[in-house]
C-alpha cells in the first residue's frame, strides 16, 4: 500500500508541476503582460517602467521560480483590477463553492447509488424503469433550466426555500440539487451496470452457495466491487462541479469561485484568472488522488502486488 501511495503521490506532484507551468504561461498567452497592464494609451517609457516594476524583464525561468515559490507559500500575487490580494479574494469565495459542490455531489450519490443498486437487483422492474426515465430526463434537461424550474416551484410558488444568497444552509439546497442532478444519471447507470455485471459473476454464485443472506451478498460481496468505477466517476464530477458551477452560482447569486471566474474573464484580470485555474487544478489533483486511495482500499489488486 505504502509503495502504491508514494508512487501515486509522485504522479500527483508531477501533474501539479505541469499544471503550474501551463498556468504560469497564461500570463504570456495574450501577449506582452507589461503592455496589457499599461493600457492602450501608455508611452514606451511607461511600459518599460511597468516591465521593470513587475519584474517582467527578468529571464522567464527566474520569473517562474519566483512565482512558484510564492504560490507555494499561499501568495498568489495582487489583482491589479481589484487592488486586492488574490489569496484573500479566493479564500473568501472558496468556501461557498466547496460547500455547494460537496452538497451537490452528496445529493447526486445518495440518490444515484441506491437507485442504481435497486435497478440492478430487479432489471426491467418498475423501479428500474423509473430510474431509467429519470436518467433520460436528467440528461436531456439543461441544468440552468432545471434551476429555473426549482426556483419557480420551491422558491416562488411554495416559498419553501430562499432563492438567492448564502445566508443559511437553506440557501444551498436548491443550487445543490440543480448542480447535482446533472451527475445523477451517469452515476446511476454506472452503478447499475457495475452491479449487474458483478451480480452475475462467479464469486457472487459462491457467496450464495455459502448460504449467505441477500444483504451480505449484495452489500459485502457485490457493491464493494461494483462501486470502484463509480468512485472514479464521482471524483471527476466533483472536480467539474468546483470549476463548472458558474451557471448555477450566477443563477442563485452565490458568491463562489465560479462566479468570480466569470467576473474575472469579463475583466480580463489575468493574474486572478491564473490563480483561479491554479487553485482549481490543485483541488482536482487532490480529489483524484483521494479517489485513487479509496479505490486502492476497496480493491486489493491495486494495493497488494
What residues make contact with another protein under the rule CB under 8 A?
A: 201-203, 205-213, 216, 220-221, 224-225, 298-301, 304
> Of all helices (H) and strands (E), which one includes residue 50?
helix 44-53
Instruction: Tell the smallest beta-carbon distance from residue 292 to another protein (Å).
Output: 16
Q: Which residue's CB is nearer to another protein, number 104 or number 226?
A: 226
Give the integer Cα–Cα distance in Å for 263 and 248: 14
Instruction: Tell the smallest beta-carbon distance from residue 214 to another protein (Å).
Output: 8
CA-CA-CA-CA torsion for 116, 122, 123, 127, nearest 10 degrees? -60
Helices 228-244/270-298 angle, 10° precision = 170
Q: Which residue's CB is nearer to another protein, number 52 or number 210?
A: 210
Instruction: Tell the smallest beta-carbon distance from residue 29 to another protein (Å).
Output: 46
Q: Which residue's CB is nearer to another protein, number 137 or number 304?
A: 304
- CA-based R_g, the chain, Å: 24
DSSP characters for 58-122?
S-HHHHHHHHHHHHHTT---EETTTTEEHHHHHHHHHHHHHHHHHHHHHHHHHHHHHHHHHHHHS
Q: Which residue's CB is nearer to another protein, number 144 or number 203?
A: 203
Instruction: Tell the smallest beta-carbon distance from residue 207 to another protein (Å).
Output: 7
Q: Which residue's CB is nearer to another protein, number 160 or number 203?
A: 203
Instruction: Tell the smallest beta-carbon distance from residue 216 to another protein (Å).
Output: 8
Instruction: Tell the smallest beta-carbon distance from residue 4 to another protein (Å).
Output: 14
CA-CA-CA-CA torsion for 168, 173, 175, 179, nearest 10 degrees? 140
Q: Which residue's CB is nearer to another protein, number 71 or number 207?
A: 207
Amino acid at each position: 500500500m505504502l509503495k502504491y501511495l508514494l508512487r501515486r503521490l509522485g504522479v500527483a506532484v508531477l501533474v501539479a508541476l505541469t499544471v503550474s507551468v501551463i498556468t504560469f504561461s497564461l500570463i504570456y498567452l495574450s501577449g506582452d503582460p507589461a503592455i496589457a497592464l499599461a493600457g492602450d494609451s501608455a508611452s514606451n517609457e511607461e511600459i518599460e517602467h511597468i516591465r521593470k516594476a513587475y519584474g517582467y524583464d527578468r529571464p522567464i525561468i527566474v520569473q517562474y521560480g519566483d512565482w512558484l515559490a510564492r504560490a507555494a507559500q499561499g501568495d498568489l500575487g495582487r489583482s491589479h483590477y481589484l487592488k486586492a490580494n488574490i489569496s484573500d479574494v479566493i479564500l473568501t469565495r472558496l468556501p461557498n463553492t466547496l460547500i455547494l459542490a460537496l452538497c451537490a455531489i452528496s445529493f447526486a450519490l445518495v440518490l444515484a447509488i441506491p437507485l442504481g443498486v435497486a435497478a440492478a437487483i430487479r432489471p426491467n422492474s418498475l423501479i428500474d424503469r423509473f430510474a431509467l426515465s429519470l436518467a433520460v430526463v436528467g440528461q436531456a434537461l439543461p441544468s440552468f433550466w432545471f434551476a429555473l424550474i426549482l426556483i419557480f416551484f420551491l422558491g416562488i410558488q411554495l416559498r419553501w426555500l430562499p432563492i438567492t444568497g448564502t445566508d443559511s444552509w437553506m440557501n444551498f439546497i436548491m443550487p445543490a440539487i440543480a448542480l447535482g442532478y446533472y451527475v445523477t444519471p451517469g452515476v446511476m447507470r454506472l452503478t447499475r451496470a457495475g452491479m449487474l455485471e458483478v451480480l452475475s459473476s462467479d464469486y457472487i454464485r459462491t457467496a450464495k452457495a455459502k448460504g449467505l443472506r441477500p444483504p451480505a451478498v449484495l452489500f459485502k460481496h457485490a457493491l464493494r466491487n461494483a462501486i470502484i468505477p463509480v468512485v472514479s466517476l464521482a471524483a471527476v464530477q466533483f472536480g467539474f462541479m468546483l470549476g463548472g458551477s458558474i451557471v448555477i452560482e450566477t443563477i442563485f447569486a452565490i458568491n463562489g469561485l465560479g462566479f468570480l471566474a466569470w467576473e474575472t474573464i469579463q475583466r480580463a484580470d489575468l493574474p486572478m484568472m491564473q490563480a483561479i485555474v491554479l487553485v482549481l487544478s490543485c483541488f482536482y489533483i487532490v480529489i483524484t488522488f483521494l479517489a485513487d486511495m479509496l479505490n486502492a482500499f476497496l480493491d486489493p489488486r491495486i494495493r497488494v502486488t
